[in-house]
Amino acid sequence: MEKAIGTIGFIGLGRMGRPMASNLCRKGFDLAVHDVNPEAVEFLTAAGAKAATGIPDLARASSVVITMLPSSVEVEAVVLGPDGVLAHGREGLLVMDMSTVEPRTTDALHMAASGRGMSVVDAPVGRLATHADSGESLFMVGASEADFARVLPLLQAMGSTIHHCGGVGTGIRTKLVNNCLAIVSCQLNAEALALSQRFGLDLGKTLNVLYGTTATNGQLRMNWPNKVLSGDTTPGFTIDLAHKDLSVIIDAANAVKVPLPVTSAAREAFSMARARNYSACDFSAIVDALCEIAGIERPRLPSG
């Protein structure tokens, strides 16, 4: 299967991209990698990947190019630029973008690729960096049936849950809906737990109540006890990226005339956290930022 797919080019070896590329290496795929960080490239070459001399070289050698980049700006430069993937790829090349970008970017990639006899798949990622480490990522995929079948072995090597959401563009739009709830839930959790702290309630007992009612959510039940509530704010997904995603969500909603008043308020709360130097912290640390402003003790569960 791996040999039938051909060489896979992977661009973007950050906190999410590096483990995903590593999983492809471990599963025996022929991988060529590129990143602006030479240390990330060295890590992958030690795992068995080849280092591309640049994007044009990688595009010419690959049958599939995967991008995992910070924003629309980088994706458009890497894929659509004069030295980008489409300018140097061969007819039949498939570009699979796993970044969280503006829907208009995905639409532009699809249109540009189609005009060159190439194709695009959008496959943004759900879950956290720790899931990427263990090969348990969730993918929301927008693709034709034929292209979905083509990339399925790659997705199965990097993740454990794969949803084919529809045609090109449905993956990223589903991701924005998902992230809207996931990130806004963090802000709601922060406000509720700050209030609990001010009331002087026992955090463990408060959580036990919340977990047994409709007030619970995935962040509060699955992510927070392992992150901020245990004192670990090292980033799985940073406050900076959460703020960026909320901005993308709001812009995309404005484009289709959907008002998002609660999401807009949450973005400003994340702006506040960034202004207080929480940018590089895990997005669950939004509760720490709020408690700092209010002069409240940060919520922490006892060890064990």
Q: Which residues form the catalytic set?
A: 175
**Would you give the DSSP letter of residue 64?**
E
The C-alpha atoms of residue 67 and residue 277 are separated, in whole angstroms, by 29
CA–CA–CA angle 45, 233, 208 (5° rounding): 125
First to last CA, the chain: 45
CA–CA–CA angle 234, 97, 251 (5° rounding): 75
Kind of pairing between the strands at 94-97 and 50-51 = unpaired
Class of residue 55 by CB neighbours under 10 A (exposed 0-12, middle 13-18, buried 19+): buried
**Would you give the DSSP letter of residue 223?**
I
The C-alpha atoms of residue 100 and residue 107 are separated, in whole angstroms, by 13
Chain-centroid distance of CA 293 in Å reads 29
For the record, the structure tokens of 143 come out as 């693709």
CB atoms within 10 A of CB 260: 17
SS3 142: strand
For the record, the structure tokens of 85 come out as 């993937």
Classify each residue of 205-221 as buried b or exposed e, where b means 16 or more C-beta atoms within 10 Å of its C-beta. ebbeebeeeeeebebbe
The C-alpha atoms of residue 49 and residue 26 are separated, in whole angstroms, by 10
The C-alpha atoms of residue 140 and residue 99 are separated, in whole angstroms, by 11
The C-alpha atoms of residue 144 and residue 167 are separated, in whole angstroms, by 5
